[in-house]
Amino acid sequence: MSRRAAIELSVMAALAAVVVILFLNHLEADEYPPGLSAAEPADLPSWISRELTHPCEACKGCSHAFETTECRLAATVRDRDGWYRLFWAGADTYVYDDAALLGAALRNSTAEFVEGTWTIRGRYVPKDHPAPHDCPAAVSEVDLRYRLKRGSFPGPGDPLIDPSGMFPVPLRLLWFRYPFPPDRVDDFWWELENPDTFAGTKPKPCTCGNKPAQERTQEQKER
C-alpha cells in the first residue's frame, strides 16, 4: 500500500469514527425532568396522626399534637453517559421527591436508580400548658426512616405499633409501579428500616389541670 493510500484510508477511518460518534450521540437524547436543587421538606403523610388523645385517670383523655422536626423524601437517579460523549461524558445526578418525575427520569436509557430515603422525625407535645401531673406513658419522640426498594412488592405486611399501642405506622408502602417493555414491571416501595426504634414512649405532662385520683386521695387524708 502506497503512502498516499494509507493516508486516505486513515482519513476515511477517522471520518467513519466521527459519523459513528455523532450517530450514537443522536440516539442518546437525555430527557430528565428538573430535579430538586436542594433538600426540600416534604409534606407529612396522611397516616401520621396530627393529634393523639390518650387515656388519663384525672381527665379521661389528654390531647397531644405532633410537631415535625424533619420530613424529607429524596430519590436519586444517576445519568451515566457513554464513552462516545467524549468531552462531556460523566455522571449527572438528579434528586426527586415525586413518583411521576422519578418514573420519567428512568425512561432514559442511561438512567440508573441509586437510592431513596424518606425520613420523618418529630414529637408529640401537649396542646396546652402542662399541668402538675404526668399522664400514663404514651408515644413521644418519633424517628421513622424508610428506604426505597425496587423489585417485586412483597406486600404491606402488618402495621407496626409503638409500645404504648397508640401510634401505628406502615411497615411497607407501595409508591408506584414502573413498566419495562416488553413484559417486565418493577415495583418501587418504601420499607421501614428501623422497626424496633421508630418511636419512644414516656409519661406525658397532662394538660387538663386536674390531679390524678391518687394525689387527690392523699390530699384529702392530709386535711
Strand partners, 92: 79
SS (H, E, C) the chain: CCHHHHHHHHHHHHHHHHHHHHHHHHHCCCCCCCCCCCCCECCCCCCCCCEEEECCCCCCCEEEEEEEEEEEEEEEEEEECCHHHHHHCCEEEEEECCHHHHHHHHCCCCEEEEEEEEEEEEEEEECCCCCCCEEEEEEEEEEEEEEEEEECCCCCCCCEECCCCCCEECCEEEEEEEEECCCEEEEEEEEECCCCCCEEEEEEECCCCCCCHHHHHHHHHHC
Q: Which three cell numbers stand for residue 132?
A: 402538675
pLDDT of residue 6: 60
Question: Stretch 64-77: mean pLDDT, rounded?
Answer: 92
Tens-place pLDDT, residues 32-68: 888 886 667 888 999 998 988 877 776 677 788 899 9
Write down the residue that cell numbers 424517628 correspond to: 143
Q: Is the pLDDT assigned to residue 84 strictly greater than 50?
A: no
pLDDT of residue 182: 61
Spell out the domain ranges in the chain: 31-222
Q: Does pTM surpass 0.75?
A: no
**Residue 185: φ, ψ to 5°:** -130, 125
pLDDT of residue 67: 93
pLDDT of residue 216: 45
Question: Stretch 4-27: mean pLDDT, rounded?
Answer: 54
Cβ atoms of 42 and 71 closer than 8 Å: yes
